[in-house]
Amino acid sequence: MNDIVTDCHGVKALSEIFKLLSEPNRLRILCGLGMECQSVGSIVEETGLSQTNVSFHLRLLREAGLVRPEKRGAFVYYCLPDQKILALLDDFRSWAETLEKPETHKKAS
Partner DNA sequence: CATTCATATGAGTAGTCGCTTATATGATTG
Partner DNA sequence: CAATCATATAAGCGACTACTCATATGAATG
**Under the rule (CB under 7 A), what is the footprint of DNA?**
19, 22-23, 25-26, 39-41, 44, 49-60, 69, 73-77
Return the H-helix or E-strand segment holding 21. helix 11-21
Task: Tell me which amino acid residue 6 is.
Answer: T
Return the H-helix or E-strand segment holding 100. none
Q: Minimum distance between the CB of residue 95 and DNA, rounded to whole angstroms?
A: 21
Instruction: Return d(Cα 84, Cα 98) in angstroms, integer.
Output: 22
Instruction: Return d(Cα 5, Cα 86) in angstroms, integer.
Output: 22
Closer by beta carbon to DNA, 51 or else 83 = 51
Provide the binding-site residues for a copy of itself, judged by CB under 8 A: 3-8, 10-19, 21-24, 27-28, 31-32, 34-35, 46-47, 62-66, 68, 81-82, 84-86, 88-102, 104
